[in-house]
Amino acid sequence: MSTYQVFWPIIRCLPPEFAHKAALALLRLPLRWNDAVLDPFEWNGFRCRNRVGIAAGFDKNAAVVPGVERLGAGFVEVGTILVEPWPGNQVSPRMRRLVTQRAIWNRLGFTSDGVLQVKRNLGPVSRHSLGGMVVLCNIGPHPGRLRQAGDPLAATRDDLLQLVEALLPFADAFVVNLSSPNTRGLRSLLQSDRLNDVVMRPLVERLRQAEAAEGQGRRRPLLLKLPPEDADRRPWARDDLARVICPLIEPSWCDGLVAVNTSSRLATELVSFPPADLPGGISGEPLRPEALRVVSLVRKLVGPKPLLIGCGGMMQPSDAISFLDAGADLVETYTGMVYGGPGLIVECARAIRDHRPRARLEPA
Ligand SMILES: Cc1cc2nc3c(=O)[nH]c(=O)nc-3n(C[C@H](O)[C@H](O)[C@H](O)COP(=O)(O)O)c2cc1C
């Protein structure tokens, strides 16, 4: 039994948001929790030391990146980062553990200290000190501005352009989050016919211009994070998913995808307390079948080249292998760490190294 499992009966009694803050505080201590597994992965110049990462939402403000490095992760997706601070949804409850299902229900919304604070946090962190762990910046539109905007897509583009410029020196890749179920209207943007023209194309063009001005020849992947279901909370139909992702990938308005975010369909099935207008999202074990289905569908739709990160219910090392078998290049977890402890990261990385010795080193 791991030390984490010994403490689990205490941890599970703590309110989840308090337990999360305590975990971040522990990660600020200069302790090495795990030695990283070295199993390098490379995709068009994007490199990480192994294929297992920490999903968005764990370190929303990039406050503990060196601590996450000491967990042995290959990468961390920090954020969702917003242009300005935002307290998240002021509703109660907004986060619960569903212990028997090994799941988390949350409707935090985008709680963010804003991009200036993220820059302050990342400023002193030298890339060299991260030992090959890389930082993906997950960015999203500000819910307050979104609510007031006449054209939410244009407001989203303006926020994302600002975030990409501000975070360029710190990011090894960007992930656009239009898939959180906890910000009203966000998921419908993803299915808009204007998404590519108004948001994704200007964004990738600005990113490439900024990289050219930087003059280092560095190219950062731009990824889009997908929900496990459509805007009507139905599991993705193949054609609907194809309509969202194929027009993005074929003309290269985006380099790849992260699949998936939390499920509000599962929230309406598993949780009785939240109101219908903001049901929240489920992560963890119950999400895995849907996450694997979407990863497999995405890989079939986009072919072998795009970068694909699998996420959702990776609770044990065999799940990491299942994601890779379904077509993911990389995997990431949040809820698995809550139930399994921080050792899950290296256990999954070791399983991948041992079961799939041929890391993808060829250029896409
Ligand atoms: C408490 C909590 C907060 C989250 N916050 C974010 C977020 O800010 N941005 C985002 O893209 N995903 C967020 N997520 C979703 C995770 O990144 C991930 O997609 C999801 O939890 C499924 O993975 P898991 O089952 O391994 O947790 C959050 C998840 C949880 C549980």
| Whether pLDDT at 362 is above 60 | no
Question: Is the beta carbon of 264 within 6 A of some atom in ligand 1?
Answer: no
Distance in angstroms (rounded) separating the CA atoms of residues 52 and 37: 10
Question: Is the beta carbon of 138 within 6 A of some atom in ligand 1?
Answer: yes
Sequence ranges of the domains in the chain = 3-354
Q: How large is the greatest C-alpha to C-alpha distance in the chain, in angstroms?
A: 55
Q: 126 CA to middle of ligand 1, Å?
A: 26
Among candidate residues 112, 179, 180, 263, the one labeled active-site is: 180
Question: Is the beta carbon of 262 within 6 A of some atom in ligand 1?
Answer: yes
pTM value?
A: 0.94
Please write the tens of the pLDDT for every residue from 83-138. 999 998 888 888 999 999 999 999 998 999 999 999 999 998 888 888 899 999 99
Question: Is the beta carbon of 311 within 6 A of some atom in ligand 1?
Answer: yes
What does pLDDT average to over the chain? Answer: 91
Cα torsion through 160, 162, 63, 8, rounded to 10? -10
Q: 127 CA to middle of ligand 1, Å?
A: 25
Question: Is the beta carbon of 182 within 6 A of some atom in ligand 1?
Answer: no
Question: Is the beta carbon of 183 within 6 A of some atom in ligand 1?
Answer: no
Listing DSSP states for 56-69 in one string gives TTSSTTS-SHHHHH
Distance in angstroms (rounded) separating the CA atoms of residues 190 and 311: 18
The band of 160, judged by pLDDT with boundaries at 50, 70 and 90, is very high
Please write the tens of the pLDDT for every residue from 27-76. 898 888 888 889 999 999 999 999 999 999 999 999 999 999 999 999 99
Residue 51 in contact with residue 352, Cβ under 8 Å? yes
The band of 364, judged by pLDDT with boundaries at 50, 70 and 90, is very low
Nearest CA to ligand 1 atom 10: 56
- H/E element holding 167? helix 152-167
Residue 233 in contact with residue 264, Cβ under 8 Å? yes
Asked about 112 being catalytic, the answer comes back as no
Question: Is the beta carbon of 341 within 6 A of some atom in ligand 1?
Answer: no
Residue 211 in contact with residue 174, Cβ under 8 Å? no
What is the mean pLDDT of the segment spanning 296-306?
A: 95
Please write the tens of the pLDDT for every residue from 174-197. 999 999 888 878 888 988 889 999
Long-range contacts made by residues 14-22, C-beta under 8 angstroms, separation at least 24?
16/95, 16/96, 16/97, 16/104, 16/106, 17/94, 17/95, 20/58
Per the structure block, which two tokens stand in for 248?
């993005």
Mutation probe of ligand 1 site: the residue of 61, 334, 344 with most atoms within 8 A of C-beta: 334
| Whether pLDDT at 242 is above 60 | yes
Nearest CA to ligand 1 atom 17: 56
Q: 260 CA to middle of ligand 1, Å?
A: 9
Cα torsion through 302, 305, 306, 308, rounded to 10? 90
**What's the pLDDT score for residue 93?**
86
Distance in angstroms (rounded) separating the CA atoms of residues 248 and 242: 10
Cα 51 to the chain's mean position, in Å? 14
What is the mean pLDDT of the segment spanning 283-302?
A: 97
Nearest alpha carbon to residue 139 among 38, 222, 237: 222
Q: 261 CA to middle of ligand 1, Å?
A: 6
Mutation probe of ligand 1 site: the residue of 266, 283, 287, 345 with most atoms within 8 A of C-beta: 283
Domain 3-354 has CATH 2.170.120.40: no
How buried is 217 (Cβ within 10 angstroms: 0-12 exposed, 13-18 middle, 19+ buried)?
exposed
Nearest alpha carbon to residue 318 among 347, 358, 284, 278: 347
